[in-house]
Amino acid sequence: MKHWIERIAEELNERDVKEHVIASGTSISGSIHIGNSCDVFIANAVGNALRKLGASAKTIWIADDHDPLRKVPYPLPESYEKYLGMPYSKIPCPEGCCSNFVEHFEKPFLEAMKEFKIDMEVKSGEQMYKDGVYDDYIRTSLEKAPEIREIFNKFREHPLGDDWLPYNPICEECGRVNTTYAYDYDGDMVSYRCQCGHDGTMDIKTGEGKLTWRVEWAARWKIFGTTCEPFGKDHAASGGSYDVSTIISEEIFNYPAPYPVPYEWITLKGEAMSKSHGVFFTPGQWLEIGAPETLNYYLFRSKPMKSKDFNPEMPFLDFIEQYDRVERIFYGEEEATSEKEGKKSRKIYEASQIELQDKMPFQPSYRFMTVAYQIAGNDPEKIFGILKRNSQLPEEMENLEFSQLDAADIERLQKRILHVKNWLNTYAPGFVKFQVMEKLPRVEISDVQKEFLSKLADVLETHDYSAEEFQDQMYLILNELEMKPQKAFQAIYKVLTGRKQGPRAASFVLSVDKDMVIKRFRLED
């Protein structure tokens, strides 16, 4: 069984290519999220797979920073509407912290990519125009404008004008690039008119303009020698950008279109991600609550065109448990339900890893640590003790003290503590959160609940239990008292947190200081 990334790499490797160039690109129209950065992750994975096969491969990322602003992204104010139609590269930084709009949104993305150890050459569309990289392709496009118009018109309901040119100058009057219409040229000088009423000419060598998108994309393929490129499903639609750019690439620039890897959009809690509406989730936000490998796993566990919905709230805990299970299967610590599942899990896990470890890393339960953190805070030694008391450690660590852990295990624990902390502070629903009260809260409990707590205190005082053993003891007592479990557990939560509900009762009780719990169950302040 092969992972889909491996299959792509093998198909590419069969081609007679000296060096594979896997390209990705992102429009810098606002925050770069996990939806529109999929091509970066896929491109990096394909490049890595090619190198494993012994092929020469590099990954490039082009910032489409010369495109026009079409919508004001969240959380920018309405005053930014005055920049609509202007290239991103010409718009000021919204907070004055960066040189311009592009750097403001690009910088956090590139910082996050370092955490994922994605090695890619970063290119700027604006800089390419300024440096003259596109000049010869602009000249060719102007000379072959009739042929390009004919290609476009095959896919258009309304034909382009006979004087239309595949180039948009930036209007020297209003600064917009999506409102200009180039209709004539003389050498490198392009004549245009703008919707603002201005008529002008522009020298292509100034870089103050750009090829229309589908022509620019085709030119870019030849410029970089692109052999493979992932892109969103909108470009992959029949008669869409990829189809049109493929014809332009082959017929105008005499270059074969790269191997396409289209991918489905990622929704956020069922809603389409939108930079203008503030509905997005960035790689940087992911790194606050999960290891970089977990995002790789999220993207690579299913084929690129399969629908994906992400929810950072309670479903995230289930997702992390799935990732941890796949990790255990990979290292032989857990059996898969079938041979097929085992092979698939191992392939997905391997594709997700930045660097494979020789042995299984320390894997403290994310879900359990949402409880342990709220009891012990940022103290890794206390949290390790809670894990130990609740049989949450692998067998080889059960008899170890915190001081005996190796550096890698401590680092893994500290990182997961930080992720859990951020998840609790940002995405956890209210019912997950609790606080152990320093003093006995003023709560009303019935006589039978008091008796239940008193008997529990006696049980705790006589023996050190595992979570399963203590749960059995709780049920023996509540059955003896003919209590409903709900009422029994409510009594525990009330005297410890002042609330009627909380985490799994047995583990929760064993996670709190034993002497304090015994006093609290005896209603001693």
Q: Given a cut of 80, is residue 420 above it in pLDDT?
A: yes
Please give the mean pLDDT across all residues of the chain: 96
Q: Given a cut of 80, is residue 525 above it in pLDDT?
A: no
pLDDT at 466: 87
- Give the residue ranges of DSSP H helices in 353-502: 366-376, 380-389, 407-426, 447-462, 467-480, 485-497
**pLDDT, tens digit, 9 for 90 and up, residues 10-47:** 999 999 999 999 999 999 999 999 999 999 999 999 99
Q: Given a cut of 80, is residue 91 above it in pLDDT?
A: yes
**pLDDT, tens digit, 9 for 90 and up, residues 94-120:** 999 999 999 999 999 999 999 999 999
Beta strand segments in 243-302, E: 259-263, 266-268, 271-272
Tell me what the mean pLDDT of segment 391-414 comes to: 94
The residue with tokens 């640590």 is: 369
Indicate where the chain has its CATH 3.40.50.620 domain(s): 4-126+214-267
Measured distance between the N- and C-terminal CA atoms of the chain, rounded to whole angstroms: 62
Give me the long-range contacts of 4-9 (CB less than 8 A, separation at least 24).
4/303, 4/304, 5/42, 5/45, 5/46, 5/49, 5/300, 5/351, 6/49, 6/347, 6/351, 8/46, 8/49, 8/228, 8/259, 8/261, 9/46, 9/49, 9/50, 9/52, 9/53, 9/55
pTM summary value: 0.94
Rg (CA), the chain: 30
Indicate where the chain has its CATH 1.10.10.350 domain(s): 447-521
Q: How far apart are CA 56 and CA 17, in angstroms?
A: 9
pLDDT at 306: 96
Confidence of residue 459 (pLDDT cuts 50, 70, 90): very high
The class of domain 4-126+214-267 in CATH terms is alpha beta
Query: How many CB atoms neighbour CB 201 within 10 A?
Result: 14
CATH architecture of 447-521: Orthogonal Bundle (1.10)
pLDDT at 467: 86
- Residue 437 makes CB contacts below 8 A (sequence gap 6+) with 496, 497, 498
Query: How many CB atoms neighbour CB 520 within 10 A?
Result: 23
Q: How far apart are CA 134 and CA 140, in angstroms?
A: 10
Tokens of residue 304, six digits: 């690129």
Query: In terms of C-beta density within 10 A (0-12 exposed, 13-18 middle, 19 or more buried), how is residue 515 classed?
Result: exposed
pLDDT at 419: 98
Burial per residue of 499-512, b for 16 or more beta-carbon CB atoms within 10 angstroms, e otherwise? beebbebbbbbbbb
Confidence of residue 4 (pLDDT cuts 50, 70, 90): very high
Tell me what the mean pLDDT of segment 146-167 comes to: 96
Q: How far apart are CA 140 and CA 130, in angstroms?
A: 18
Three-state SS for 139?
helix
**Distance from chain centroid for Cα 348:** 17
Q: 275: annotated binding-site residue?
A: yes
pLDDT at 35: 94
pLDDT at 276: 87
129-133, 390-394, 413-417: least confidently modelled range: 390-394
Q: How far apart are CA 504 and CA 479, in angstroms?
A: 18
Neighbouring-strand partners of residue 184: 191
How does strand 228-232 pair with strand 259-263? Answer: parallel
Q: Could you tell me if 352 and 372 are in contact, meaning their C-beta atoms sit under 8 angstroms apart?
A: no
Q: Phi and psi (nearest 5°) for 274? A: -145, 120
Q: How far apart are CA 302 and CA 4, in angstroms?
A: 9
Q: Given a cut of 90, is residue 400 above it in pLDDT?
A: yes
pLDDT at 505: 92
**Distance from chain centroid for Cα 38:** 8
Q: Given a cut of 90, is residue 464 above it in pLDDT?
A: no
**pLDDT, tens digit, 9 for 90 and up, residues 295-354:** 999 999 999 999 999 999 999 999 999 999 999 999 999 999 999 999 999 999 999 999
124-138, 210-224, 287-301, 500-514: least confidently modelled range: 500-514
Q: How far apart are CA 163 and CA 184, in angstroms?
A: 7
The residue with tokens 């624990």 is: 413
Three-state SS for 274?
strand
pLDDT at 1: 83
pLDDT at 327: 98
